[in-house]
């Protein structure tokens, strides 16, 4: 009976001990993935910003500029690309819609970002673009990989259409979460005019004919929750200028936009709550369940060995009664 019990315990011990590495190194990469149908919006604001008045072609101070950023997963496109890519793919269509204090559109820049659903590596396929221009991204954009490391990453900048390092600057605490702080500085770079201009009749081509060019510089800051790789907060010190050409008259340059862009408070709270929830799910796969499973496996193995040892111990003969000591004779 003891030997059967020890064999059953041994089977369970191996089951739980094997489950630990299988969950961590096989199930985790297969299960921890960005959903292909994700839909997410984000509102960022730049208070006391500087904005170009296209009527007078002069920069003016405005109370607030709002940026609405939407990400929407295209499931059908992802499934189509997956067939040739041979790995799980997410296709995000995004729109950065910038609105002035009067509610009028300042700019809108669409993007299509295609990437591996688990590793976050870019996947190159037809349709990958920024504002209608085909691009070949390197590095990450919007989100870091699961289990983010304390190191620099390559980050794609949509304005310049180039990739540059985003530096790990230390570990911080943000609203109760341990986060990694990353920062990227994009130096003044000549960038294309947006395809959609804020004034009707003005097109990128008509501006180009005047010889005026658009320049951009930014300091990008992200507070990233390392388990999920999700930024819980972001800021950008963003500057844009128009330089040269007949459009500016005798001026060498004019500020098109300058502002310190920050996430809106209600979106920060929403993002932190969402990331805390997702963090628990990822930790369950990478830490909680594998560790518990391994401990249980070792415990059951010890129990199985103990039972087996007791089963193998030779049985002592039954006592036949108390033997009276023999009388001592002299």
Partner 1 sequence: MRALIAAATGLTLALALVLGISALGSPSGRTSPKPLLTTVPSHP
Interacting residue with partner 1 among 62, 81, 94, 223 (CB under 8 A) = 94
Q: Binding of partner 1 at residue 302 (CB under 8 A)?
A: no
In a 3-state reduction of DSSP, which class is residue 210? helix
Q: Binding of partner 1 at residue 277 (CB under 8 A)?
A: no
* Interatomic CA distance for residues 328 and 91, integer angstroms: 101
Kindly state the smallest distance separating residue 187's Cβ from partner 1, in Å. 30
Interacting residue with partner 1 among 2, 5, 14, 57 (CB under 8 A) = 14
Give me the 97-126 binding string for partner 1, x by CB under 8 A, dash otherwise: x-x-----x--x-x----------------
Kindly state the smallest distance separating residue 295's Cβ from partner 1, in Å. 15
* Interatomic CA distance for residues 307 and 292, integer angstroms: 22
- Tokens encoding 113: 């970002």
Q: Which contacts (CB < 8 Å, 24+ apart) does range 124-133 have?
A: 125/81, 125/84, 125/85, 125/89, 127/77, 127/91, 130/158, 130/161, 131/158, 131/192, 131/194, 131/195, 132/195, 133/161, 133/192
Kindly tell me which of 202 and 311 has the beta carbon lying closer to partner 1.
311
Interacting residue with partner 1 among 15, 134, 287, 310 (CB under 8 A) = 15
Kindly state the smallest distance separating residue 119's Cβ from partner 1, in Å. 16
Q: Binding of partner 1 at residue 27 (CB under 8 A)?
A: yes
Kindly tell me which of 167 and 262 has the beta carbon lying closer to partner 1.
262
* Helices and strands, counts by H and E, the chain: 6, 12
Q: Binding of partner 1 at residue 31 (CB under 8 A)?
A: yes
Name the one range near partner 1 by CB under 8 A: 87-95, 133-141, 197-205, 312-320.
87-95
The crossing angle, in degrees rounded to 10, of helices 289-312 and 2-22 is: 160
In a 3-state reduction of DSSP, which class is residue 277? helix
Give me the 187-226 binding string for partner 1, x by CB under 8 A, dash otherwise: ----------------------------------------
Kindly state the smallest distance separating residue 111's Cβ from partner 1, in Å. 10
In eight-state DSSP terms, residue 83 is: H
Kindly tell me which of 23 and 282 has the beta carbon lying closer to partner 1.
23
CA atoms within 13 A on the CB side of 230: 19
Q: What are the angstrom distances between the C-alpha of 148 and each of 143, 212, 279, 287?
A: 10, 41, 12, 15
Give me the 137-176 binding string for partner 1, x by CB under 8 A, dash otherwise: ----------------------------------------
Q: How many residues does the chain have?
A: 330
- Tokens encoding 163: 């990739």
* Interatomic CA distance for residues 183 and 221, integer angstroms: 5
Q: Binding of partner 1 at residue 41 (CB under 8 A)?
A: yes
Q: Are 120 and 228 in contact (CB under 8 A)?
A: no
Name the one range near partner 1 by CB under 8 A: 33-41, 163-171, 215-223, 315-323.
33-41
> Which residues in this chain contact partner 1 in the complex, by CB under 8 A?
3, 7-8, 10-16, 18-19, 22-23, 26-27, 30-31, 33, 35-37, 39, 41, 43, 66, 68, 70, 72-76, 78-79, 93-95, 97, 99, 105, 108, 110, 266-267, 270-271
């Amino acid at each position: 009976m003891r030997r059967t019990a020890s064999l059953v315990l041994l089977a369970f011990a191996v089951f739980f001990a094997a489950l630990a590495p299988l969950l961590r190194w096989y199930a985790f990469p297969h299960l921890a993935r960005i959903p292909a149908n994700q839909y997410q919006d984000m509102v960022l604001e730049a208070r006391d910003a500087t904005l170009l008045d296209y009527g007078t072609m002069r920069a003016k101070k405005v109370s607030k500029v709002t940026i609405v950023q939407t990400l929407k997963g295209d499931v059908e496109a992802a499934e189509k690309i997956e067939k040739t890519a041979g790995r799980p793919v997410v296709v995000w269509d995004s729109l950065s819609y910038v609105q002035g204090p009067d509610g009028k559109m300042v700019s809108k820049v669409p993007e299509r970002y295609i990437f591996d659903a688990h590793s976050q590596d870019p996947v190159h396929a037809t349709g990958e673009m920024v504002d209608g221009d085909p691009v070949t991204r390197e590095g990450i954009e919007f989100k870091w990989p699961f289990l983010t490391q304390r190191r620099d990453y390559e980050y794609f900048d949509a304005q310049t259409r180039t990739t540059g390092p985003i530096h790990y600057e230390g570990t911080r605490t943000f609203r109760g979460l341990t986060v990694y702080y990353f920062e990227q500085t994009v130096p003044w770079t000549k960038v294309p005019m947006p395809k959609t201009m804020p004034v009707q009749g003005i097109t990128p081509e008509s501006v180009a004919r005047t010889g005026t060019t658009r320049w951009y510089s930014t300091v990008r800051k992200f507070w990233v929750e390392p388990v999920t790789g999700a930024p819980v907060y972001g800021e950008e010190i963003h500057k844009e200028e128009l330089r040269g050409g007949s459009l500016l008259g005798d001026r060498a340059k004019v500020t098109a936009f300058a502002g310190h862009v920050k996430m809106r408070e209600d979106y920060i709270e929403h993002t932190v709550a969402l990331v805390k929830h997702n963090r628990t799910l990822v930790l369950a796969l990478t830490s909680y369940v594998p560790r518990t499973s391994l401990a249980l496996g070792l415990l059951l193995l010890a129990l199985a060995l103990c039972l087996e040892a007791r089963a193998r111990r030779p049985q002592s003969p039954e006592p036949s009664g108390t033997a009276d000591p023999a009388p001592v004779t002299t």
